[in-house]
Structure 1
Amino acid sequence: MAYLLLYVDDIMLTASSTTQLRRFIDSLSHEFSLKDLGELHHFLGVSVQPAGAGLFLSQRQYTEEILARAGMSNCKPCSTPVDTNHKLSTTGAPVDNATDYRSIAGALQYLMFTRPDIEYAVQQACLHMHDPREPHANLLKRILCYLKGTLDHGLQLHRTSPASLTAYTDADWAGCPTLAITHIRSVRAWAQQGTAALAASVATGLAHVDALHAALGDLLDLPEAQAALSGAGGSVDRLLDSFLRLADAHGCFQEAVVPLKQDVAEALAAVRRRDGARLASAVRSQRRAGKELARLAATASECAVGPSRLSILGGGHGSSAEVEVTGLLMESAAATASASAALFGAVAAMLGSVAAESCSCKGTAALACLVTKNNKKAPAPGSGSEEIAVAERLEELEEFIEEMEAGSEKVFRSLVQTRVALLNIHTLHIF
C-alpha cells in the first residue's frame, strides 16, 4: 500500500515497504520530471522528525515567524493559552488596527495543524474578527505568550495506533453561557415588537422561549452548575417563585383558551349569519376573556424585572460561579416573563379591537337591523364590506390563538421542567 500527498508541485510519498516505495517513485519518474529529495524532513512549513516508533511534527519556525510579525519575539511566556478564571467579554474599545488582528488570528489557524492545544483559544479569537475589541486583542496576545513558552510542542504520530478510541472536548461545563444568552436576546427582541408583528410571528417567538429553557435544562444538568447553585439559597427561592408564577400564568391561559376559541368561533358564525344578538353575546364573552388576559399579562410583567448580577447574591458576596449561573437564570426568567406578557397583552388587544369593530354602529347595529327589519329590505350601504372586514379580523384572531395555544403549552412544560430541576438542586442542598 502506498500513499501520495500532492500540493501544487510538492509531493510526499510513503509506502508499506521500501521496495514498494522505490517502485512507485520509478513509475512516476517515467511519466514526470521528478527530483527525489530523500527522506522527509520538511513539508509545507511542517518539520518532520523521526522520533522513536513514529514521527514528530512541529511548526516551530512558523511559530517564531508569527511572534516576530506581532512584535512579540521577546514576550514573557505564560502557561495557558486562555485565562481560566475569566470569560471573554464581548464589549470594550475597538482595537487600533483590526487588519493586524485578523492577520495574526488567521495565521494561528494554520498553526493548529500541529498545535491542537490552542484550537479552542484561536477559535474564540476568530469569532470576533469582524469587530475585534480590546479583550479579544488581549486574548490574542495571551495565545502568543503561550506559544513563546511552548515552541518545542508539536504532534507525535506513532507507527501503530492503539486499539482504543480516545476523544477530547474543549467544553468548559457551566462556564460558557453564550447559547443561553443568545436565546435571551432573541426572546427580548421578539417581545419588543408591536401587536401585529407578534401575531405574525407567534410560533417563532414561543420557539425561542422553548429553546431558551432547553438550554437552561442542559445547564442545570451539569455538576458545576448544581454546585454553584447550592450556595445561592435565597436566589434559588426567588427563581422558584418566578418560574412558578410564570408556569401558573401559562396554565391559566391554557384553561381560558378553550372557551375563548368558542367565543371567537361563535362571533364569526354570527357575523356570517348576520345574527346581531348572537354576535353581541359573543362580544361580551370576548371582553371578559380580554380582561382575564390583561390580568395574566400584568402578572407576567411583575416577573419581568430582574435584579442586576451584582445584587443577586446580596451585593456580590457569592462566588463568580454563583453570580454567573444565578444571574443567567434570573435573566432567563425575566426574558420569559417579557415574552409572556407581550403575548397575553397582544391577545387582549386584538380581542378589544375586534370587539370594538363588531360593536360599532356600522357593525352590530347594522346586523341587528338586518335581523329585525324586513328580510326583503336591502342592507345599509357599505354594511357588506364591514361584515367582511370584521370576519377577517376574527379569522386572524382565531389563527393567532391556535398558534399561541400550541406554543404556550410547550412553554408551560418547559417552565415546569426548569422549576423541577431547580427544586431538586435546592432540595438536595437542604438535606
Structure 2
Amino acid sequence: MESGPLAELRVVEIGEGVAVATCGKLLADLGADVVKVEPPGGDRLRRLGPFPGNVPDPNRSAAFLATNTSKRGITLDIALPTGRDLLRRLVQRADCLLESFPPGYLDGLGCGYEALSHLNPRLIMASITPFGQKGRLQRWKAHDINVLAAAAVTHGLGRPEREPLTLPAWQADKFAGLNAAVSVLIAEMARRRSGAGTHIDVAEVDCWATFMAGVGLQPFLDEGRIRMRSGHRALHQPHLDATLPCKDGYVTLDTPQRRQWGSLLRAIGREDMLEDPRFARPLDMTDRWAEDVERSLEPWLMAHTREEIFQLARQAQFPAAPVYTVGEVLKVEHLRARGYWSAVPADGSDSLIYPGPPFRLSATPWRIRRPAPRLGEHNREVYVEELGLSEEELVALRQHGVI
C-alpha cells in the first residue's frame, strides 16, 4: 500500500464518537497506521446511519464510514482484565494513543497516561472530551449542540427575533478532532528533539471559544459590544453583506468597499441609491437600513439566476457567490479538476464518494488508503500476526467476549 507523510507513525484510537474518529481519520489518510479499537458491539456511530436503502447495517453506516477511512479495526472490551492487558500491549508498540473517555475513566482501569507512559515513555496520548481533563465541568457529558452553546457560538446564529440556532453536522466534534490531529503532530515534532512523550488535553469547548475569539469575543473585549444574531445578513459591516434570494435560489453579496458597492449599483442600473441620504454612511446600511437596501435590490435579483448574477459580478468586479446545494457542490468542475473527490470501494456496494483535504502535498500526497474497517475486520492481523497470540487464544478471546 502506498505510504504517506506519516507512514512511520503508529496510532491506537480508542473511544467512541465523531471527535476522536475525525482525529484518527486525518492521521490515517496522511499515512499513519491507525488501529481503531471498538467494543465488541461496535462503535455507536455504526448504529446512527444513514444507511443505504434505509436498511440498518453496522458495516454500512454513513456516519461511521465517513470518519474512519484508511484505518484498521479491531474489537476489544477494556472493562475486562484481559482486555486491559491487550490494550497495554498495543500501546507499548504505538507512538500515539487517541482516546475520548470521560476524565479519570482510563486511570480507574490502570490505563491512564501516567500508567501507560511508564510502559512507553515516548507515548503521545491525546484525550478529547467536551470540557477537558481539568476544571469544574470536566466530568460533564455533552453533545455537539451543548459545546457550541457553551462556547458562545450558538448565541450568534439565527434571526434576532427567534431562538438561537446551532451548527449542523457535528461541527464541534470535527473541529476538536482537527485540533487534536494538529496537536499530535506538534507533539511528535517535540518528541523527535526530546525523546519524551506527552499528554494532550483537547477540550471541544476550548477549540470553539478560541476559534470564535476574532468573531464574537474580541469585539466584546475591545468595545464591550455583544455580537447579536442577524439572520441572513451581517451587522456592523460597511455597505451590503447578505445572502439574498434570486430567481433560482440564493446568492451572497458582500461589498465592503465603496467602489464595490458602486460597481454593483451601476451594473444593475440603480445608481440612484448612491445619492440616497439613508445610505450615506456605510455602517448605517447594515445597522439601520438593511431591509430597505434589500427591498431595493429584490426586483433585479428575482429576475436573474445565480449564474447570471455571478457572471455579472465578475465583469463588474464586486464580490458575489452562488449558494450551492450539496448535490451541486459534487458537480463543481473546479473541485473535480483538483481531484478533490475520492471514490473508495465500499463493503457490499458500489464505490462511495468521499471529500478530500484542503491541501496538497506534492511529494507525499494525501489519499484514502482503504475504506472504513468492518467490525473486527483486522482482529487476526493485529492479535495473531502482530501481538503473537495463537489461533486458539484468538478463539478463546471471542468465546469470553473480550473481542
Question: TM class, shorter-chain normalised?
Answer: under 0.3
Higher Cα Rg: structure 1 or 2?
Answer: 1
Higher strand proportion, which one? 2
TM norm structure 1: 0.22
Larger RCO (alpha carbons 8 Å, 6+ apart): 2
TM norm structure 2: 0.23
